[in-house]
Structure 1
Amino acid sequence: MVSLLASINISAQVSLTGIQPYISYHKSKSDFKIADQGQTAQIVVSEHDYKGVIRAAHDLGDDVRKVTGMASPVMVQQSFKKGNIVIGTIGQSRIIDQLIADHVIDVSAIKDQWESYIIQAAGDKLIIAGSDKRGTIFGIYDVSEKIGVSPWYWWADVPAQKSKRLYVKAGKYVQQSPKVKYRGIFINDESPSFSGWSRKKFGGINSKMYVHMFELLLRLKANFLWPAMWGNAFNEDDPMSPVLADEYGIVMGSSHHEPMMRAHKEYTRRVKEVGPWDYTKNAKNLQKFWYEGLERNKSFDNLITVGMRGDGDVAMGKGDDEANMKTLHQVVADQQNIIAKVYHKPLSQVPQAWAIFTEVQRYYDAGFNVPDDVTLLFCDNNWGYIRRTGPEKEKNRKGGLGLYYHIDMNGGPWNDRWINTTTIPKLREQLNLAYQTGINREWIINVGDLKPKELPIDFILHYAWNPDAISANQTFDYTVNWAEGIFGKEHAREIADVVSKYAKYNLRRKPEVQDPNIFSFVNYHEAEREYALWEDLAVKAEALEKRLPIEARDAYYQLVLYPAKASAGVAQMYLNVGRNRLYAKQGRMSANDYAKKAHDLFDLDQKLSSRYNDSIAGGKWKNMMSDVHIGYRQWSMPDSNRLPEMKVVMPLAVPSIGIAVEGSTNAWPNGQNNAQLPTFDVLSKQSYYIDIFNRGEDTFEFTAKANQPWIKVSATKGTVHREMRLFVEMDWSALPVGENQGRIEIKQGNTIVPVSLTAIKSKLPDSEKPFYGGWGEFSIPAQKFSANIPGEHASWTVLPDLGRSVACMGSSNVNMPSEMPAKAPRLEYEVFLPVQGNAKICLGILPTQDVNPQRGLRIAVSIDGEEPVIIDARKGFHDEFQQYTPASLALSPGLKPLPPLGENYALVSRGKLRRNEVFDNLRWLDVDLNVKSAGRHTLKVFMIDPEVVLENIVINPDDRYPSYFGAAPVEHPAAKKK
């Protein structure tokens, strides 16, 4: 947990996980005993305290039972004695107030603060005192978690960590207020899985279900909820739901298109009575509808959504932004009048938010705004990249700035629903960008069905307590501690590795946008490497399950094994389909083998879902894994899982040779151009393959003969039944200097298939540092720089495990001002470029949105001492909801323009490597640089705007050998001059 506690006489600190060392399992002098020798401490809470505090106190009593086998009895009374756990809220509990008056406890550090608390242990008593209702509840649940009860004990069937002895170390522990005020989740896209599960388990999405969710949020130290709204109305479906939310201590809101605490379903149920959802024609009835909603909910703790969109999560009106903004001005003014009438207090004391979602971003960019006491709720692009950082002009806004963020999406640009595809490093990078730029009043996260998004939910809600507590270097540590809190220490690092990798591999290509043609089957062994990564992960996840105690396996299946193995199965299924299609085109009989593998994985997917729905936890999660996730052809969910189309290959009547070579999807003999292997060069010393396969029945003999002595083939003859792979290498000691041509002739009977090749040998470059380079395409991981030179206000810093590969490079200060290259932070890379003239440089950056239109999204690149070329990542940029025009990029009043960028300003081409930056989680920026001489050079990359995050560099992309990731990086060792 990201919050928690500091010992006496030490200023409040924040740990990585909240598992602080104030719980001991052996008594020391002055420690407080919770449990020992079959006895447990009695819990005392005032009858005058909040119902939610009293309820949570009973939870703590039962949590002691979960850990020790014996509950702590709870007494609701006004007195206590030695050995009691005393719980209460300042100003609400007479017991706590008396302890303050008697100077037994000092609460000056938390009094009148938001959601803060102290825990004080002194031999004869343990005191948990909160500054407000939720502060006390959070203090209670902090003790619960630290004694060994996971916040996920119910929602993921996590067993308590057992101990017969529990002590609290003597001292005073202080927790200051959270850095993000409102922190919560949005249950959305909840059909068929969440709704089907709720109906089966609880008879519907009702208060019986919601109390479990309220408790989870509080145990995670969250305080806010947007309830399920697909055909559901939180306040009307079960009137006890809002009552219990308030009793528990949860602030309720309604989604971005459901203003004034009215669910969309409430409108559709009475559409004949209310009339059209059109404020220009039906303002009076809509005002009445909103007034009644607020009047119904006014006694509860709410954060009210204001504004208006069209009926059912669409833009209002007929697409005329000017007309919509004029209407929206009146809507907000009238809504605030309603709020004032209902609440009878200043509007600044009634929490409100306006969601700048989808088309509403255009209104805001065009100058539309809402009153200063309303929180501006900025949004992401639906796939986890925020669309705006906190604007400078809004930094002093009374209502503050908030964020609506997706780790689940049903809609454009494409569905992302079934499984977790969001990594902790990505969350940390994007949420840090939001927080550091002032977005800290409200974070509401679209989590879909809640399951199976447990890990990112856990991280986000704890990170929101204090984003400064977790650096980019600590994201894996967080995951290890999360795993340790659930499964214990022994396997925590291995489990953290599995959950980190399955999400990361999903992020490379999310299941709903998988396609059989994404990864290359013939270039750089890309598909094989991808398949092997998933295979290794699935095997490791299965092996770990067998090493865990029986009581932990239900939790392990939900949190680790199912998402890892099912994700692997879907990814491998698509890879097998792709290989089937390629091999069928080539006439290989093994195409049928890959079709069978795909079918087997498709069947496995159903078995894995069935185990989740029917078997684990005694069938507790029936229907929860019901999302269709295979066979998407458009953004919306298909009606059923479907295998992509595959081909069946029928054998010829007689054995017949077929040849396929690395780097080509063709097969020979085909009567057209000859087979050609990719170029060999002395620097990389490549090995390429030739596949010999049988297009017919029975077997055949073959021979392979090279026409040059420096060509080495792994086999010169053999017998082929199905297929056989030969490897070709060069004897570089025997190869003449220069560009050499060679040929291998492969013969079966009277059929001869020639395979041509080119091998280049030249003097190797001298370099005092390791370098990248060679003939043709090569890539450089961003973190493999040879020098990192800081600028005036920031430096490039390594962001481990971010992006699709090992790490990315980002800014140490996301609030740094834009810099021209002369003063900008700079990365340098040693490269060998063997050819003079034009070199194409492709910078792979994360698909950061146009977060600050007033300045741009720029990076610069140069070779050696040449003038840097500045690239703006917005050129050619497409926002799913907004095409940026010169008018929308105009400077706001009072902001000074940047200095002229000069002549060397590059336009960004899409490039043949680029497919879809959102689906690929990478944006390619292309620039041509002039290489004045062949040899070793220094490539320089400059940080102009701090939001740009660099992942990869591909130099001289070879469109003859296209691939998803580009050529695999190969670092060449230093070769010092003699």
Structure 2
Amino acid sequence: MFKQFAFLTLLFIGLLTNAQNVHNTLSLLPNYIKSKGEKGDFRIAANGTTAKIIVDQDDWKGVIRAANDLADDVRKVTNVAFPVVKDTKLSPGAIIVGTIGKSKLIDQLVANGKLKVDAVKNKWESFVIQTVGDNLIIAGSDKRGTIYGIYDVSEKIGVSPWYYWADAPVKKSTDLYVKAGRYLQESPKVKYRGIFINDESPSFSGWSAKHFGGINSKVYTHIFELLLRLKANYLWPAMWGNAFNEDDPMSPVLADEYGIVMGTSHHEPMMRAQKEYTKRKEQIGAWDYVTNAENLKKFWTEGLERNKNYDNIITMSMRGDGDVAMGKGDDAENIKILKQVISDQREIIEKVYNKDPAEVPQLWAIFTEVQRYYDAGMNVPDDVTLLFCDNNWGYIRRTAPAKELKRKGGMGLYYHIDMNGGPWNDRWINTTTVPKLHEQFSLAYKSGIDRIWIVNVGDLKPKEMPIDFIMRYAWNPDAISANQTFDYMQDWAASIFGKEHAAEIAEIVSKYSKYNLMRKPEVQDPNIFSFVNYHEAERVQKLWRDFAAKAEALEKKMPKQALDAYYQLVLYPTKASAGVAEIYLAAGRNNLYAKQGRVSANDYAERARELFELDKKLTARYNDSIAGGKWKNMMSDVHLGYQKWSMPRENTLPPLDMVTPLASPSLGVAVEGSTDAWPGTEVKAELPQFDALDKQRYYIDVFNRGTGLVQFTAKANQPWIRLSTTKGKTVKEQRIYVDIDWKKAPADKSSGLIEINQGNTKVPIIINALKKTAPKSKDNYYGGYSGEFSIPANKFSANVPGNNAKWIVLSGLGRAEACMGIDPTTAPSSTPENAPRLEYNIFLPEAGAANVLLGILPTQDVNPGRGLRIAVSIDNGEPVIIDARKGYHDEFKEYTPENLSRSKVLKPLPEFGHNYALISRGKPRRTEVFDNQRWLNATLDVKTEGIHTLKVFMIDPEVVLERIIVNPNDKYPSYLGAPER
């Protein structure tokens, strides 16, 4: 039997025992760099000398620039100069860099039969690295293909793509060789892969102003280079208070030279930034196509004329001024207007480019209310990419519709790992895990969303790790499976910090992001976790403290050159996240204890203040000390004290209550399972039930409401009730543990009483015990005699494949150790009799109705009209099919504390069971989006008491199961549910 497994302590068990990597998940090519050469190998550097790079001066400027970067990278690694020569003559012992059809050097090698390029020629962003005689050839199919090949060598010799943006240390080496052979990189599976610099004030804008004089080309060249080193190619620039093309006219010029495809955000059409409009608003007039179409068309035409010679993807259509819905809410009228907008924009494109608009890359962002328009039948020409979106918090709103799979323009995804806006800000720190990214991007990709992946990354920092994963994963999503996500984390850590501590760093970074995903900092609240049930708050606090301590201890083992990177990527996000989480835990305990009259409430208020000061110091170190002040202002986001979705003016503590002690010692008593305190409460004090199967231990807190020393006695009226102490004295509080001597306890149900005394003050506490024989079973099972119990989805007793799919373990996903998802996610919907199913052995002590809650990830209505269904049954009973969409609508609106939990979008319904029960008690800010979990409720008929088989069936393939709670007991509510037993 699974007895009292602590839910959160199971997190990540087995992470460090993953199978050996089949390949390094950071690269699709094998590691061809060696420190010792053999016959046929190419020598980059050895014995204090280096090879030279030869590049055709007529090749792309971006290629020549990247060749110089490679030379500098070799210098960083070896401390020896590495010359670059612009020439068209081959030279022995040199690295020959060039683009097929653009470089005379490469074309000469092809013509002479020394280099075969059939596998890459005329392909998109492909390259080959090959030893040819005593030369090393890097040949690209196009400009970016060549650049990617150059940077592939840079990374493999020891220069991380994050050498600038995270101060990743360069791996020093004196001897560098390329193993003889041919290394072919095929074209990426996702054509356009990029980031959106958004939410860039105060952090990114303050940092840029301090170091570069503003958000200008000096900043952007660092971003361009990062993208290229990550083999990405696409950028939406900062736009809050900025206009990329006008603030610094060199920005678009350099973007094109570097090889970056530029775009504008989802609500900035025709290559015009919103700020370009707002500063001309008086001349242009209203952002209203009904009343001001001619002026807007002129404005858009000028934007395209300015940018037409660069590599762009044009954002089509329009929204209201300032990234809001347009019009007065009449969808039919808006659709009619937008159809005309797009038609007119296509005419502008044809006129400006003097070609068929179908030859010019365009996208239509199906963002927020535009999703309704698309669902209502609105569409755009077949050559325009449909850019589907997530729900702003990392769950995609649509998979690729079957009717669009042959679409010429394909389909793309706009995705958030940073959010400023509804439903709530998520911008300060990384709250996104690699397993979540893998699950969501895999779902998108396998359905056919593969033309564009553009990711809102906020200020870029501190979202380095998820940016790295998404850009690498986008090249070939088939190369990293769901069970390799920790392999990726370990490879990522090793690439920056070396192999020695890679596993520890990977675990720490995985866990801090996972715990943040459990409850993101901006939506923390003092009342989220239970302080009286299942030791929940204590367990959460221990998790954070343990990993903050591990991160601090590991810092002492880091070499000096890695300390800046370690602080940015590991220590700060871990320790600062832990501090914020504990601030709210301390505030919650303070609030509860103040309500109970405990003088110790003041200690928790003081602890919250100490942590608040620590948060300031951690931020100051980030901004002022690391890397010699390089990141001044970058960590400026307010992250404490959110009362609505938007960022507060300053960090503030949650409300704290101070207790004024009574003039003399005064007894107070609190018991596990209740927020009340005695004397002073009408209901009787009672501990949760004890039973002989689970052998629980519960606590009683004896505390002081006044000054001086409380002296107390504790006495049980039954010999089978055991107390950890029978007397004591305390200035503040003392805990008494209670358990049962089951050898002495009478059979079946029995009750007793514990009395806590201080002078004439007496507090009786009711004890209930149940002594029954454990059910006999040859198999392990979950459940017991004392109400609610949980089952982790991956702890099944049987996993039975269906006709077209199977359940698989998605390690590290969700709050717990793992989730269960479907492979393939493109499988057709099923009926229970043909579906894959999971089975769990459970013990139910009574016949009758059993309430089963299925905790699933908050997957959106990705395939509207079909359903988002899962089924559950007991034994051979008729499966109950539950549709997770029931009562759910995913359109966003404005959110305030008053309407948030009751809003049309996120309103939890009775069908969602446990979650709704908690909200009905007034728990603040509880929604499936914030909780990262949706609860589905089913009532099942149990014929007899005893061991049963709980079965869970796939109906629709996108539903991901994390947790099952059986017979939820809302007398003892908690955020995470009872631990499994």
Structure 1 match to 2:917: 912
Structure 2 match to 1:356: 366
Structure 1 match to 2:628: 618
CA distance in structure 1 between the aligned counterparts of 2:668 and 2:889, rounded to whole angstroms: 44
CA distance in structure 1 between the aligned counterparts of 2:133 and 2:105, rounded to whole angstroms: 18
Structure 1 match to 2:799: 788
C-alpha deviations, 1:371-412, integer Å up to 9, x for none?
A: 000000000000000000000000000000000000000000
2:816 counterpart letter in structure 1: S
Within the candidate set 473, 478, 489, 2:488 is matched to 478
State how 1:235-274 maps to structure 2 within 5 Å: 235-274=245-284
CA apart distance, 1:163? 0.5
CA distance in structure 1 between the aligned counterparts of 2:680 and 2:715, rounded to whole angstroms: 20
| Alignment of 1:955 onto 2:966 | yes
| Alignment of 1:606 onto 2:616 | yes
Structure 1 match to 2:951: 940
Structure 2 match to 1:504: 514
CA distance in structure 2 between the aligned counterparts of 1:880 and 1:344, rounded to whole angstroms: 39
Q: Is the 8 A contact 1:908 1:927 kept in 2?
A: no
C-alpha deviations, 1:20-53, integer Å up to 9, x for none?
A: 3210001111110000000001000001100000
Within the candidate set 11, 22, 25, 1:16 is matched to 25
CA distance in structure 2 between the aligned counterparts of 1:123 and 1:502, rounded to whole angstroms: 49
Structure 2 match to 1:577: 587
CA distance in structure 2 between the aligned counterparts of 1:458 and 1:700, rounded to whole angstroms: 58
Structure 2 match to 1:287: 297
Structure 2 match to 1:976: none
CA distance in structure 1 between the aligned counterparts of 2:376 and 2:630, rounded to whole angstroms: 50
CA apart distance, 1:272? 1.6
| Alignment of 1:865 onto 2:876 | yes
| Alignment of 1:645 onto 2:655 | yes
CA distance in structure 1 between the aligned counterparts of 2:88 and 2:651, rounded to whole angstroms: 60
Structure 2 match to 1:376: 386
CA distance in structure 2 between the aligned counterparts of 1:413 and 1:735, rounded to whole angstroms: 53
Structure 1 match to 2:471: 461
Within the candidate set 534, 538, 543, 2:544 is matched to 534
Q: Which SS does the other structure have where 1:78 is aligned?
A: coil
- Between 545-554 and 760-769, the greater mean CA deviation after superposition: 760-769
CA distance in structure 2 between the aligned counterparts of 1:16 and 1:645, rounded to whole angstroms: 46
Structure 2 match to 1:410: 420
2:889 counterpart letter in structure 1: H
Structure 2 match to 1:899: none
Structure 2 match to 1:36: 46
| Alignment of 1:815 onto 2:826 | yes
CA apart distance, 1:133? 0.1
CA distance in structure 2 between the aligned counterparts of 1:340 and 1:740, rounded to whole angstroms: 86
CA distance in structure 2 between the aligned counterparts of 1:242 and 1:566, rounded to whole angstroms: 37
C-alpha deviations, 1:49-69, integer Å up to 9, x for none?
A: 000000000000000011111
Structure 2 match to 1:275: 285
Structure 2 match to 1:141: 151
1:350 counterpart letter in structure 2: V
CA distance in structure 2 between the aligned counterparts of 1:882 and 1:194, rounded to whole angstroms: 27
Structure 1 match to 2:902: none
Structure 2 match to 1:157: 167
Within the candidate set 399, 416, 420, 1:389 is matched to 399
CA distance in structure 2 between the aligned counterparts of 1:113 and 1:71, rounded to whole angstroms: 34
Q: Is the 8 A contact 1:63 1:71 kept in 2?
A: no
| Alignment of 1:345 onto 2:350 | no
| Alignment of 1:877 onto 2:882 | no
CA apart distance, 1:14? 7.6
CA apart distance, 1:15? 4.7
Q: Is the 8 A contact 2:398 2:861 kept in 1?
A: yes
2:26 counterpart letter in structure 1: T
CA distance in structure 2 between the aligned counterparts of 1:796 and 1:540, rounded to whole angstroms: 34
CA apart distance, 1:700? 2.8
Q: Is the 8 A contact 2:120 2:141 kept in 1?
A: yes
CA distance in structure 1 between the aligned counterparts of 2:338 and 2:139, rounded to whole angstroms: 45
Q: Is the 8 A contact 1:426 1:803 kept in 2?
A: yes
Structure 2 match to 1:208: 218
C-alpha deviations, 1:662-697, integer Å up to 9, x for none?
A: 000011111512210001112211100001111122
Q: Which SS does the other structure have where 1:952 is aligned?
A: strand
Within the candidate set 689, 693, 699, 2:699 is matched to 689
CA distance in structure 2 between the aligned counterparts of 1:698 and 1:419, rounded to whole angstroms: 44
State how 1:160-239 maps to structure 2 within 5 Å: 160-239=170-249
CA distance in structure 2 between the aligned counterparts of 1:580 and 1:271, rounded to whole angstroms: 52
Structure 2 match to 1:324: 334
Distance 1:667-1:81 versus aligned 2 partners, 3 A rule: same
Structure 2 match to 1:974: none
Q: Which SS does the other structure have where 2:475 is aligned?
A: coil
Q: Is the 8 A contact 2:369 2:891 kept in 1?
A: no
Structure 2 match to 1:897: none
Q: Which SS does the other structure have where 2:96 is aligned?
A: strand
Structure 2 match to 1:128: 138
1:912 counterpart letter in structure 2: A
- Consecutive unaligned residues of structure 1, counting only runs of 5 or more, are 1-12, 884-905, 971-978
CA apart distance, 1:854? 2.5
CA distance in structure 1 between the aligned counterparts of 2:636 and 2:917, rounded to whole angstroms: 37
Distance 1:522-1:671 versus aligned 2 partners, 3 A rule: closer
CA distance in structure 1 between the aligned counterparts of 2:403 and 2:256, rounded to whole angstroms: 35
Q: Is the 8 A contact 2:852 2:938 kept in 1?
A: yes
**Count of equivalent residues:** 936
CA distance in structure 2 between the aligned counterparts of 1:368 and 1:612, rounded to whole angstroms: 48
CA apart distance, 1:274? 1.3
CA distance in structure 2 between the aligned counterparts of 1:864 and 1:97, rounded to whole angstroms: 70
CA distance in structure 2 between the aligned counterparts of 1:383 and 1:907, rounded to whole angstroms: 23
Distance 1:675-1:246 versus aligned 2 partners, 3 A rule: same
Q: Which SS does the other structure have where 2:556 is aligned?
A: helix
Distance 1:572-1:143 versus aligned 2 partners, 3 A rule: same
Within the candidate set 61, 73, 76, 2:71 is matched to 61
CA apart distance, 1:250? 0.1
Q: Which SS does the other structure have where 2:971 is aligned?
A: coil
Q: Which SS does the other structure have where 2:451 is aligned?
A: strand
1:859 counterpart letter in structure 2: I
Higher relative contact order (CA 8 A, sep 6+): 2
- Between 765-774 and 358-367, the greater mean CA deviation after superposition: 765-774
Structure 2 match to 1:843: 854
CA distance in structure 2 between the aligned counterparts of 1:671 and 1:659, rounded to whole angstroms: 10
| Alignment of 1:734 onto 2:734 | no
Q: Is the 8 A contact 1:15 1:469 kept in 2?
A: no
C-alpha deviations, 1:623-657, integer Å up to 9, x for none?
A: 00110110000000000111111111122221111
CA distance in structure 1 between the aligned counterparts of 2:81 and 2:849, rounded to whole angstroms: 75
Q: Is the 8 A contact 2:792 2:963 kept in 1?
A: yes
CA distance in structure 2 between the aligned counterparts of 1:463 and 1:552, rounded to whole angstroms: 26
2:944 counterpart letter in structure 1: S
| Alignment of 1:798 onto 2:816 | no
Structure 2 match to 1:115: 125
Structure 1 match to 2:11: none
Q: Which SS does the other structure have where 1:259 is aligned?
A: coil
C-alpha deviations, 1:144-169, integer Å up to 9, x for none?
A: 00000000000111110010010000
Q: Is the 8 A contact 2:23 2:30 kept in 1?
A: no
- Between 19-28 and 416-425, the greater mean CA deviation after superposition: 19-28
Q: Is the 8 A contact 1:778 1:955 kept in 2?
A: yes
CA distance in structure 2 between the aligned counterparts of 1:425 and 1:923, rounded to whole angstroms: 18
CA apart distance, 1:731? 1.1
Q: Which SS does the other structure have where 1:262 is aligned?
A: coil
Q: Is the 8 A contact 1:498 1:560 kept in 2?
A: yes
CA distance in structure 2 between the aligned counterparts of 1:880 and 1:643, rounded to whole angstroms: 32
Structure 2 match to 1:303: 313
CA distance in structure 2 between the aligned counterparts of 1:636 and 1:795, rounded to whole angstroms: 42
Structure 2 match to 1:335: 345
